[in-house]
Amino acid sequence: MMKAGQKTKENDSLFIEMRKLSPKVTGGIMRAREASYEDGNVLGKYKLLTAMAISIAIRCEPCIRAYVKMAVDRGVRQEELIEFLNVAMTMQGCPGEEWAIKAYAAYKEIVGGLTVATDSSSCCAH
């Protein structure tokens, strides 16, 4: 059985290989992501929280965790996160609440210094 850390290393290796095989598209996605989440008229952390809310709506746990991590790295406060989680829950109802709780758990793990144990094999983790 593969451990989470092994899976992440394998996915990182596959991501590097994919970038070599598809530099225009994969690199383009990375450049678009970097440009989309930079500070502008709207701070990047709010753009990341928006991406997190969308990830909740589409129920992509690796994306949720990645966007929560990036938002935390940009200095998002718990109160800000909760307001975006409220929006996600309002738009999604009960399923949104379930997925918002996953985002809040990721936040608690990240700010608490714990290792996120779930699979982060999404492109969003890079």
Note down pLDDT in tens along the chain; length 126 residues. Answer: 445 455 567 778 888 898 899 988 988 888 999 999 999 999 999 999 999 999 999 999 999 999 999 999 999 999 999 999 999 999 998 899 999 999 999 999 999 976 544 444 444 444
pLDDT, position 30: 85
Amino acid at 126: H
- What φ, ψ does residue 3 adopt, rounded to 5°? -80, 160
pLDDT, position 16: 87
Residue 75 backbone class (left: φ over 0; alpha: ψ -120 to 50; beta: rest): left
Q: What pTM value is reported for the model?
A: 0.76
Q: Which residue bears the tokens 């829950």? A: 89
Which H, E and C letters describe the chain, residue by residue? Answer: CCCHHHHHHHHHHHHHHHHHHCHHHHHHHHHHHHHHCCCCCCCHHHHHHHHHHHHHHHCCHHHHHHHHHHHHHCCCCHHHHHHHHHHHHHHHHHHHHHHHHHHHHHHHHHHCCCCCCCCCCCHHHC
Specify the CATH architecture of the domain 4-125: Up-down Bundle (1.20)
pLDDT, position 7: 58
